[in-house]
Amino acid sequence: MTIQPNYPMVNLGNLYVQGGALSFVSGTSITIAAGQFRDSTNVNDIVLSSAATIVASANGANGLDVGSLGNSTLYAVYVIGDSTDYNPTAGLLSASFSAPTLPAGYDMFRRIGCVLTSGAAAILDFSQSGRTMWYAAAIATAVTVGQSTAFALVNVSAMVPSTANSVILESVLTADAGGTRTAAFKASGSSSTAGQVITSSPASTVTSTSLVCPCSTISSTTGVDYLVSNGSASLAVSVFGYVDQL
């Protein structure tokens, strides 16, 4: 008789996220697709067997953890679970990216994304592709007439969470009549002297470019650095989206 070895059952572990795509519904609600997720402690699995809808006008499971939606605020999106299996897996929004206020009966959570509200406290329309979040419309940064010839900060903290490792930018470079001008970007604080992403515009031309640039968070400020090749050129920078780390 052939004896078959016993192989232990091993789950995915390693803080995996499988499924759980986010979809925009309205200014107060989003949906989470079915999926399986490792909890934040990398000990337990949270299983969402069917899609859940988060309604941010309510508090608790499948709602906002506390309070009400604020203006121009980034909210972490979580799946939450009950290790006793008494309460069904649900979604949750929280302004905290590390310690959401869990409803009674829930003891596990895992962040699976992030949404942003408008100046009128409404969730902004978005699309999600894997770990990449796209806003339905580009959001302007404070750099609207950037003319620095030394690397200077583009602060994207208002629309990109500190968990992101890359930001998707719209670069609008206006070149003067003196010749082709370039704009260089790099992660804020990077030691790169030439920049990590470069775009250009011919003389007397306005060139709009979509690009992906690494970003970093320094002293609670998430950003990229930019420079233009000539102080007679000018640069406007907006944010299309970002690549999150979950």
Whether 7 has a pLDDT exceeding 80, the answer reads: no
From residue 136, how far is each of 6, 116, 164, 220 by CA, in Å?
51, 12, 18, 26
Question: Phi and psi of 61, rounded to 5°?
Answer: -55, 135
User: Which region among 40-44, 68-72, 156-160, 234-238 has the lowest average model confidence (pLDDT)?
Assistant: 40-44
pLDDT, one tens digit per residue, over 54-90 is: 999 999 999 999 999 999 999 999 999 999 999 999 9
DSSP code of residue 175:
-
- Contacts (Cβ under 8 Å, ≥6 apart) of 10: none
- Contacts (Cβ under 8 Å, ≥6 apart) of 195: 151, 184, 185, 186, 227
Q: 157 — alpha (psi -120 to 50), left (phi > 0) or beta?
A: alpha
Of 162, 171, 174, 188, residue with least CA distance to 234: 174
pLDDT, one tens digit per residue, over 130-168 is: 999 999 999 999 999 999 999 999 999 999 999 999 999
Structural domains for the chain: 17-130 (no CATH), 137-243 (2.60.120)
Q: Count the neighbouring beta carbons within 10 Å of the beta carbon of residue 49.
A: 10
Strand partners, 30: 24, 54
Kind and range of the H or E run holding 73: none
pTM: 0.91
Give dist(CA 137, CA 116) in Å, integer.
12
Whether 175 has a pLDDT exceeding 80, the answer reads: yes
- Contacts (Cβ under 8 Å, ≥6 apart) of 165: 214, 215, 243, 244, 245
CA 33 to chain centroid, in Å, comes to 18
